[in-house]
């Protein structure tokens, strides 16, 4: 069973923010911003590449509830999902990072020259 499935099953503790029948949101153990939450489907999905549109529609509303719950909906936030090796995905269970609570940085995402493919 994967790490996040163990969190869903309460085999590994987590700091839960919001939960419903299908989704769970908890604090990232290694936060990269003042607010850093992970939102996951309770059912195992490897990554965004495999998620069904019908799951995403509920997931979208859930994430919108989470950001209201932690009161970053008005100030703004960022939602990221890493996919596969180049995407930097470390945990193989679909998760969206929700980052906020301060002005977030934006910059180059790789060492490769971003102008090279134009
Ligand atoms: P990825 O690199 O796969 O997109 O992100 C995985 C995230 O899971 C990382 O931000 C990491 O800090 C977080 N993480 C890894 N293990 C645990 C854990 O046991 N508990 C919690 N709450 N977060 C974790
Ligand atoms: Zn899983």
- pLDDT tens column, 77-109: 999 999 999 999 999 999 999 999 999 999 999
Residues of the chain with pLDDT under 50: none
d(Cα 103, Cα 19) in Å, to the nearest integer? 27
What are residue 65's phi and psi, to 5 degrees? Answer: -70, -40
Enclosing domain of residue 40: 28-79
- What's the predicted TM-score (pTM) here? 0.97
* Inter-CA distances, 110 with 86, 87, 97, 115, Å: 10, 10, 19, 12
Domain tally, the chain: 1
16 falls within a domain: no
91 falls within a domain: no
Our answer to whether residue 95 is catalytic in this structure is: yes
* Percent of the chain residues past pLDDT 90, beyond the cut: 96
The alpha carbon of 67 and the centre of ligand 2 are apart by a number of angstroms equal to 23
CB 28 within 8 A of CB 37: yes
100 falls within a domain: no
pLDDT value for 118: 64
54 falls within a domain: yes
Residues paired with residue 37 on neighbouring β-strands, in sequence order: 27, 98
39 falls within a domain: yes
Nearest to 47 by CA among 4, 109, 1: 4
**Which residue among 30, 37, 40, 48 is best mutated to probe the pocket of ligand 1, counting the most ligand atoms within 8 A of its Cβ?**
30
How many residues does this entry show for the chain? 118
Q: Which of 27, 36, 93, 95 is catalytic?
A: 95
């Amino acid at each position: 069973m994967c790490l996040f499935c163990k969190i869903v099953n309460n085999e590994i503790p987590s700091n839960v923010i919001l939960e419903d029948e299908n989704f769970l949101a908890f604090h990232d153990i290694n936060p990269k911003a003042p607010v850093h939450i992970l939102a996951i489907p309770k059912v195992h999905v490897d990554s965004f590449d495999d998620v069904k549109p019908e799951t995403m529609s509920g997931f979208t509303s859930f994430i919108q509830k989470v950001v209201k719950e932690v009161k970053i909906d008005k100030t703004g936030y960022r939602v990221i999902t890493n996919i596969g090796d180049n995407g930097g995905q470390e945990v193989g269970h679909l998760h969206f990072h929700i980052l906020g609570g301060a002005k977030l940085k934006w910059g180059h995402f790789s060492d490769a020259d971003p102008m090279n493919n134009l």
